[in-house]
Amino acid sequence: MKLTAEALQQALLNTADQIEQQKDELTDLDREIGDGDHGINMSRGFQAVKKELQGKDPFEDLGELSKLVGMTLIKTVGGASGPLFGTVFVKFASKWNGKETVEGDQLYHGFREAVEGVAARGKSQTGQKTMLDVWEPFTEALMGEEPLETVIENALADTKELKATKGRASYFGDATKGVQDPGALSSSILLRQIAEVLNG
């Protein structure tokens, strides 16, 4: 599996469209176990990313692309999600600066850096019903044989059954079991698009 700057650019444009389609679902979930603004915030952020990327020449530097996306998300996505999703791309930028293509260990270490960045920023870990519960298995699967789409589906199913112990959702306690975490779902939308371009 390899990731080019051009492919990531396309995956991000596709993500913006998918987020827009699922905006209401994300917001409804967040009303159940959050403050009800996740879909709106993610839509705002990824529409801003789309505006930055659409019609531009293909990027040749994964670091430059990732930094632009990270800073755009931090500036435009409200709540906790902006800094967390922004951190993913800022960390990608630090690992992939000056590279047009990454594969193997370079690809994995970019994602590993992103996961650790999100954990540090959110003071969270896997098992707490957050976006990490999707990002962590996806990252490990980059070095394995299991299809990425299957990994994402399984991670979402597992996350749904967890009790939230971190963030605003933790206030809802046992009521969070059986309800999908909005951050995990929006992460899965992004990761599905990345998986698609990784698989060629």
Q: pLDDT tens-digit profile of 116-125? A: 999 999 999 9
Q: State residue 104's pLDDT score.
A: 96
Q: At how many degrees (to 10) do helices 148-161 and 132-141 cross? A: 150
Look at residue 56 and tell me whether its pLDDT is greater than 90: no
Residue type at 127 in one-letter notation: G
Give the whole-angstrom CA distance, residue 164 versus residue 175: 9
**Confidence bin at 200 (pLDDT 50/70/90):** confident
Number of Cβ within a 10 Å radius of residue 14: 18
Q: State residue 55's pLDDT score.
A: 85
Q: State residue 60's pLDDT score.
A: 94
Q: State residue 78's pLDDT score.
A: 78
Q: State residue 24's pLDDT score.
A: 95
